Structure 1
């Protein structure tokens, strides 16, 4: 028996919010495969899940700034969940995986996608390792989907070759509020990910690309140089949600960037 018509509980709302964070606003629809899968898990219709995600979008400050239309009203529970996890992304992703595992009768690690994630420091307990892995997976999926699975510099649209790159490095980021915060990420191809990570390029306050003088002097063939330099002062492709945080860009400018 379906549960449509019943009030949404805390666990269901957490799952809807976690999926909202990983779904471009324009793709919240009944035909979305992940929405259909969550609806089946909850015993609700895809339309009901999509409506809940729109309700949660009502509280998204980035959508409010851009005047993107969402539902006029979210519930008190929607607001409470948004407030609780808006600065605890690792907690959100971890809780969502625990809830899914419980609903499916599986250990949490059995429903995770652990491929292509960075190695974590040794010495973590089993639970800490699982939580960190979940957070990394959430960060990658949220960042790539926010940029519609395309490199924000070149427009390359091939997810297998994209990296969810931290603006403020993972090792220097606050564990709760920054490491898995999608606003601390850019979708980049591997080359620009490495160049950005090493401080040879950065972004200015207008999201335009700034190239360090140190790499301008590096020997390279004319075609590569023209291609690389053609992106200077160009604005990156902007994400559907989770705009790059100005505080993260400022950190990268001040601490990582090698200078114009």
Structure 2
């Protein structure tokens, strides 16, 4: 018989440090708090779901929870993630019905909820007297001062959505290009499998993303390469017949190579099939 672990023992197996108040607390999580927690879960590597993480500490302050309680909740979400559990890792296994509801709601409407969580974050900061900042990196903030009014709002919202998608994809792939292994974040792209313009409902779905270097992103976007249902790289005939020395060195050895799969949000087989049928040059007959 497999021994049953108590809450503290389960937490320790996944690196969550619990204080007594984390175990004894009886206050229920609101749906808004859970949305913010899941929003953060999507953007952090699995190995950083612990109470010492500055982003977890910051969220805990905003929602009036302890960092340990927030870390526990993130690991609860991990117990719902098939990409995590299929590898033998597990969350705490204490996800409740509202946790599952938030999980399902996000998967049914990534774009709406990513923006809603950003707005909730700003609202909570204002209520607590903190600076209500839009969480974008420096490059994403550049140029916003050049816009005003409705145009600025639209541009800001677009960048918020792109920021969420990039963080979710890069963290899932542990900050490494899934084809080349490149690990410099400045040189990585969160690439859409089904293009942004072709599927509004899945624009921000991390399972519609691949972490790629710029050159592999461009080749994938132009249909020169694709990914099979077995997650292996496929090269177009145009690319294989190209006599450029750089192409021969960089691309030809990739044929049949299996990509490095992410920790979470494994690329959707359906999205990969659409890319092969709609974008890949050989299938499209271009």
TM score, norm. by length of structure 1 = 0.87
Q: Which structure would you say has the larger Rg?
A: 2
Aligned length: 253
3-state SS of the aligned residue for 1:186?
A: strand
Alpha-carbon offset, residue 258 of structure 1: 1.1
Equivalent-residue separation in structure 2 for 1:136 and 1:193 (angstroms): 16
1:48 aligns with 2:69: yes
Alpha-carbon offset, residue 57 of structure 1: 2.0
1:220 aligns with 2:244: yes
Q: Tell me if the contact between 2:125 and 2:132 (Cα under 8 Å) persists in the aligned partners.
A: no
CA RMSD of aligned residues (A): 2.7
1:78 aligned residue (99, 105, 128): 99
Equivalent-residue separation in structure 1 for 2:103 and 2:229 (angstroms): 27
Q: Which residue of 2 aligns with 1:170?
A: 196
Structure 1 runs not aligned, ≥5 long: none
Structure 2 runs not aligned, ≥5 long: 1-20, 144-149
3-state SS of the aligned residue for 2:234?
A: strand
3-state SS of the aligned residue for 2:90?
A: coil
**1:81-230, aligned counterparts within 5 Å?**
81-105=102-126, 110-113=133-136, 116=139, 128-173=154-199, 175=200, 177-221=201-245, 224-230=247-253
1:35 aligned residue (56, 76, 85): 56
3-state SS of the aligned residue for 2:168?
A: helix
Alpha-carbon offset, residue 60 of structure 1: 2.1
